[in-house]
């Protein structure tokens, strides 16, 4: 009866009893952060583990589709929170991999506060200083070119940053920077890295997008550098648990896990 009552009041996920600890390892790795979902309670049944989270008010993917695209002021406020969550995960040795708009949900009815809602697909690094990964567990529209180019290993943090660039572009423009219903054509576009920036975007927004969506993963901004970019920063501001100041002045992958491909595309 207690489990049923909880299901009616909170968001929840169900895992096999013998797998829930492994599935939830990233949550315990990142500990508490205002822009990342935390587990409120776990109830163990005979064979299932019921994991409860705080309720939310819809996801960012649906919100952007509804509004077509966001104005830069609103996009800036939300993207700060997104990058803050990613930075905290990276600092804790967690690579998110399947990063996309749908992963972020609103904490309040006003839809001004976001949190990263799902860490089940995240990878906890054995050595925080070595983020080299070899798996290809990414959403097609958000996958980085180095993964498609057949590299044996790649930087998980840099690949996450590419996904962040795709998210920011989609929030500001209302469509993916690389789009095609045919996976092989989509992947070809991503490999070439050619996308257009609408003239309506501000110079600083264009600069940030170009600094994240770089073909060379070694040249992409890190999450911390992203937070310090002039488009996101205004003097000093609080982001998560870190206060930063502006330090800048100026498809076919055989072993890729493809999930929600059709449902995750913008028209």
- Looking only at the bridges linking them, the beta strands covering 104-106 and 114-116 are antiparallel
Query: Annotated active-site positions, please?
Result: 98
CA distance 196 to 37: 34
pLDDT bracket for residue 234 (50, 70, 90):
low
Helix, strand or coil for residue 238?
Answer: strand
Model confidence pLDDT, tens digit, residues 5-17: 554 456 888 999 8
In the chain the domains, ranked by start, together with CATH numbers, are: 2-53 (3.30.200.20), 60-264 (1.10.510.10)
pTM attached to this predicted model: 0.85
Place of tokens 């790649």: 154
Model confidence pLDDT, tens digit, residues 170-214: 999 999 999 999 999 999 999 999 899 999 999 999 999 999 999
């Amino acid at each position: 009866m207690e489990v049923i009552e909880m299901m009616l009041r909170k968001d929840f996920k169900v895992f096999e009893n013998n797998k829930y600890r492994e599935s939830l390892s990233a949550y315990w790795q990142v500990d508490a952060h205002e822009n990342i979902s935390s587990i409120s309670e776990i109830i163990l049944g005979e064979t299932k583990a019921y994991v409860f989270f705080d309720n939310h008010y819809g996801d960012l993917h649906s919100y952007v589709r509804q509004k077509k695209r966001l104005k830069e002021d609103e996009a800036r406020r939300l993207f700060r929170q997104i990058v803050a969550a990613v930075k905290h995960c990276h600092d804790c040795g967690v690579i998110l991999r399947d990063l996309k708009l749908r992963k972020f949900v609103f904490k309040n009815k006003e839809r001004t506060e976001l949190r990263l809602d799902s860490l089940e697909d995240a990878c906890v690094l054995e050595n925080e200083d070595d983020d080299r990964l070899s798996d290809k567990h990414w959403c097609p529209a958000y996958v980085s070119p180095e993964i498609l180019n057949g590299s044996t290993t790649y930087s998980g943090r840099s690949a996450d940053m590419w996904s962040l660039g795709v998210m920011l572009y989609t929030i500001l423009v209302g469509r993916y920077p690389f789009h095609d219903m045919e996976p092989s054509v989509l992947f070809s576009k991503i490999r070439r890295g050619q996308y257009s920036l609408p003239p309506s975007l501000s110079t600083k927004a264009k600069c940030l997008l170009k600094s994240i969506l770089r073909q060379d993963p070694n040249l992409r901004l890190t999450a911390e550098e992203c937070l310090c970019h002039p488009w996101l920063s205004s003097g000093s501001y609080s982001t998560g648990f870190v206060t930063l100041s502006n330090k800048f002045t100026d498809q076919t992958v055989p072993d890729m896990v493809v999930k929600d491909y059709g449902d995750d595309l913008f028209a």
